[in-house]
């Protein structure tokens, strides 16, 4: 008798919009590692300074903020050295920004690959989020060097060890919000290319709405107490403030704000995957 063939893989365009395909992603983990390496090499292969830009970018930006906002505009940093204050905010912000902008163009940048071979499409945005952890690690190390320098110098810095332990959770929140919003924008730009231009403009505005160049207490001083919640409407703000509170002893430790950021991150990921899975079925016809 003829032996019946048993398929080990079944590829179908029809699947649940809430299917996270985590099992498939795990099966393609080697491809995920390969994509992480490819993204890193592609970004710095033809540059002269290469990964040194990881150090140069935050240092120059922090110095510029120190001169413009600290010197010319006279914005106080709560008694902390300007460059350390700005660097603390930029360290986390750069990770979020890289995750958001990187995942927001996944469909457009990888249309050729998507049209040739099958693999879980979620591999691409995940590779960007994971790959950016390397850049964050380097910039975080740079921040620690400045922190230790000013600690030995005797600056009024209070490190809260029990809050520092939340750092992995803060990174997960940043990655979740960046990944979720990025997948939503990437899915929508397959039809509406204008969103890619709006994104670069919107990210710049969002940074100034986040307590990176100013302490959140400055907003609190200008608003009645019942409107203090307005300062935390931006889901990135509570995360940045907890980071500053842990490493610098300044900022506002708001557990309610952190819970809000957590809920926002969860909804962003869920909604992002739903939109991503929906567009994935037919995006080759519109890209």
The 3-class secondary structure across 65-127, one letter per residue, is: HHHHHHHHCCCCCCCCCHHHHHHHHHHHHHHHHHHHHHHCCHHHHCHHHHCCCCCCCCHHHHH
Q: How confident is the model at residue 8 (pLDDT cuts 50, 70, 90)?
A: low
Q: What per-residue confidence (pLDDT) applies to 73? A: 79
Can you say how many angstroms the Cα of residue 141 is from the centroid of all Cα atoms in its chain?
Answer: 17
Are 276 and 121 spatial neighbours (Cβ–Cβ below 8 Å)? yes
> How many Cβ atoms are within 10 Å of 88's Cβ, its own excluded?
25
- Number of residues assigned to the chain: 287
Q: What per-residue confidence (pLDDT) applies to 1? A: 45
Q: What per-residue confidence (pLDDT) applies to 226? A: 64
Average pLDDT estimate for 245-258: 88
Are 55 and 138 spatial neighbours (Cβ–Cβ below 8 Å)? yes
Task: Looking at mean pLDDT, say which of 1-15, 70-84, 156-170 comes out highest.
Answer: 156-170
Q: What per-residue confidence (pLDDT) applies to 122? A: 81
Residue 5, both tokens:
């063939």
Tell me which of 112 and 180 has the higher pLDDT. Answer: 180
> 224 pLDDT exceeds 80?
no
Residue 65, both tokens:
């903020």
Angle at 14 between CA 11 and CA 18, to 5 degrees: 105
Tell me which of 188 and 247 has the higher pLDDT. Answer: 247
6-13 long-range contacts, CB within 8 A, separation 24+ = 11/118, 13/281
Kindly write down the DSSP assignment for every residue of 138-165, as one continuous string: HHHHHHHHHHHHHHHHT------HHHHT
**Rounded alpha-carbon distances, angstroms, from residue 105 to 3, 38, 138, 196:** 46, 16, 24, 8
Q: Which of 3-12, 64-73, 248-257 has the lowest mean pLDDT?
A: 3-12
Mean pLDDT of the chain: 80
Q: What per-residue confidence (pLDDT) applies to 12? A: 53
Closest by CA to 239, choosing from 270, 262, 267, is 262
pLDDT digits (tens, 9 = 90+) for 63-121: 898 888 888 878 888 788 889 999 999 999 999 999 998 888 777 776 677 666 776 77
d(CA 192, CA 36): 28
- b/e per residue 154-165 (b: at least 16 CB within 10 A): eeebeeeeebee
Q: What per-residue confidence (pLDDT) applies to 258? A: 92
Tell me which of 201 and 151 has the higher pLDDT. Answer: 151
Q: Which of 14-23, 200-209, 219-228 has the lowest mean pLDDT?
A: 14-23
pTM: 0.84
3-state SS of the chain: helix, strand, coil percent to 5?
A: 70, 0, 30
pLDDT digits (tens, 9 = 90+) for 11-52: 555 555 555 566 777 777 788 888 888 777 776 665 656 667
Half-sphere exposure of 164 (CA within 13 A, CB side): 10
């Amino acid at each position: 008798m003829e032996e019946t063939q048993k398929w080990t893989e079944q590829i179908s365009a029809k699947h649940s919009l809430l299917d996270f395909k985590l099992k498939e992603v795990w099966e393609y983990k080697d491809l995920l590692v390969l994509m992480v390496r490819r993204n890193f090499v592609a970004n710095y292969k033809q540059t002269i300074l290469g990964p040194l830009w990881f150090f140069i970018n935050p240092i120059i930006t922090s110095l510029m903020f120190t001169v413009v906002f600290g010197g010319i505009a006279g914005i106080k940093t709560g008694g902390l050295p300007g460059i350390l204050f700005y660097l603390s905010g930029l360290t986390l912000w750069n990770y979020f920004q890289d995750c958001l902008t990187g995942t927001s163009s996944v469909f457009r940048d990888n249309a050729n690959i998507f049209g040739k071979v099958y693999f879980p499409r979620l591999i691409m945005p995940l590779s960007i989020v994971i790959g950016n952890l390397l850049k964050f690690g380097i910039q975080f190390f740079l921040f620690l060097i400045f922190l230790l320098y000013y600690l030995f110098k005797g600056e009024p810095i209070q490190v809260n060890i029990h809050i520092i332990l939340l750092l992995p959770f803060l990174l997960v929140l940043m990655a979740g919000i960046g990944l979720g919003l990025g997948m939503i924008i990437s899915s929508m730009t397959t039809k509406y290319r204008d969103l890619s231009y709006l994104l670069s403009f919107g990210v710049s505005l969002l940074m100034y709405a986040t307590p990176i160049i100013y302490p959140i207490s400055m907003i609190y001083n200008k608003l009645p107490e019942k409107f203090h919640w307005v300062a935390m409407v931006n889901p990135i703000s509570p995360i940045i403030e907890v980071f500053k509170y842990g490493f610098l002893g300044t900022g506002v430790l708001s557990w309610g704000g952190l819970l809000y950021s957590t809920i926002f991150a969860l909804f962003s990921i869920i909604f992002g995957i739903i939109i991503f899975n929906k567009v994935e079925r037919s995006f080759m016809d519109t890209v």
